[in-house]
Structure 1
Amino acid sequence: MKNILYPLVFLFLLASCTSQKNSESFINATSGRYLFNDNEVIEIYFKEQILHAKWRGNDNIKLLKVSDNSFYMKSLNEKMMFIEKPEMHIELATKTEHDGMIYHFRKMKVDEKTPSEYFKAKEYDKALIGFLAIKKKDSLSEVINEYLMNRLGYNYIKNNNFEDAIEVFKINVALYPEKSNVYDSLGEAYLRKKDTLNAEINFKKALAINPENESAKRFLTKLTKKWN
């Protein structure tokens, strides 16, 4: 335990001797949004020349200044270093828990968004491009988990937001074109929107992949009876 505490004690003693205010040039260079992971942002801003962050719903995280370009973030239990070259980014100081990994968060362009942010802005094509890029980089990423995407779509259906439900399911289809369930869900969203033509197309695709998909069978039977 002592071996763990000593570095933390040293860190806070060093911080207490350092002015918490930052220079204008540092503020201008570092303010902005950084890609924390493939679909999440940490935003750096300053109040009265003191560095703060917005992250995971907390809009007022004050970081403890350790040196001119390094800060301790308690909620992460990490020391963050701001590095300007070759381009502005944040690196986490190395420590045993990182197991040799180097964590690097690049500064985002002014108009850049995460896939989820593009989706919320109804820029569905850009959202799809972003999610497909994540799959190419890491096909096991939780951001593109088939079940979680499907659940998100049904949350939109629950709130009668059929447009966004359809777009979520279309993204899931693009991510998992070999899965029967994604077509079944998309068909249901179209059906809820009273678009029976596209509903039928997707239920048939679901059954072509898995003839035992009971949900698709049931919906398709209802559609057939309605026409007859």
Structure 2
Amino acid sequence: MRNHLLPSILFLLCISCASPKNSEDFISETTGRYLFNANEVLEVYFKEKELFIKWRGREDIQPLKVNDSSFYMKELNEKIIFVGAPKIHIKLAEKTEHKGVEYLFSKMKPGEKTPTEYFEAKNYNKALKAFLEIKKQDSLSPVIRQYTINRTGYNYMKNNEFEKAIEILKINTQLYPKSSNTFDSLGDAYLEAKDTVNAIDNYNKSLSINSENSSSLRMLKKITEK
């Protein structure tokens, strides 16, 4: 029991000895946005020289300072370490749960956005480029899963946000140009937006990839029978 308690006691002693204030150089170097994953941001900022984090919609998260470059963030249950070389980034301290796996969060350039941020700003071309870059770097990234993006498109349709539905599903066709389903879904979005011409065009593209796509066949029949 004592052996298990000792590391925790030492950790708490380290925290209690560290001043929550940070140096001007540290503040200048570390303030900014970091890529938590390919489509999610962890933002570091300071108040009265004390470090705060904005993450997943929560502001004013204040990690416990361990030393001049390390902080314990209970929301992650991780110790985060600021590393200055070769470029400033955050890494997670090694722990048993992810021993041997290195987690690094790079600092974003001024003006750099995630694919979703570009998309929400209606900068659809940059959003597409950002999604394509993710696919290039990691084709298995959950951020670019075909069915996840498809579901997002249908959620936009459900909320009558047809422009967003069309644009996100167009991106899906660019990410997966050999998928009959992506064009079928884009056809649905155009049809919901009452753009029959583009709906028919995309249903036909879907069928050119898979002539037995029952959804596209059914929707084309429904349109032509009107």
TM-score range, shorter chain: over 0.9
Structure 1 unaligned spans of 5+: none
**Alpha-carbon offset, residue 214 of structure 1:** 1.7
AA in 1 matched with 2:25: S
Correspondence list, 1:1-228, <5 A: 5-226=5-226
Structure 2 distance, partners of 1:59, 1:2, is 37
Aligned residues: 226
Q: Deviations over 1:84-138 (max 9, x none)?
A: 2221111111222223112111111120000011000111111111111111222
**Alpha-carbon offset, residue 222 of structure 1:** 2.1
**Alpha-carbon offset, residue 161 of structure 1:** 1.0
Choose 19-28 or 205-214, whichever is displaced more.
Answer: 205-214
Structure 2 distance, partners of 1:3, 1:208, is 66
**Alpha-carbon offset, residue 225 of structure 1:** 2.2
Percent sequence identity over matched residues? 60
Runs (4+) of structure 1 moved beyond 3 Å?
1-6
Q: Deviations over 1:8-32 (max 9, x none)?
A: 3321210101111111221111111
Q: Which SS does the other structure have where 1:67 is aligned?
A: coil
Give the alignment's TM-score, normalised by structure 1.
Answer: 0.94
Choose 107-116 or 207-216, whichever is displaced more.
Answer: 207-216
Alpha-carbon spacing, 1:215–1:3, altered in 2? closer, same or farther (3 Å) = farther
AA in 1 matched with 2:195: D
Q: Deviations over 1:145-200 (max 9, x none)?
A: 11111111011111111111001101111111111111011011111222222111
Structure 1 distance, partners of 2:3, 2:139, is 38
Give the alignment's TM-score, normalised by structure 2.
Answer: 0.95
Tell me the C-alpha RMSD between the 2 structures. Answer: 1.5
Structure 2 unaligned spans of 5+: none
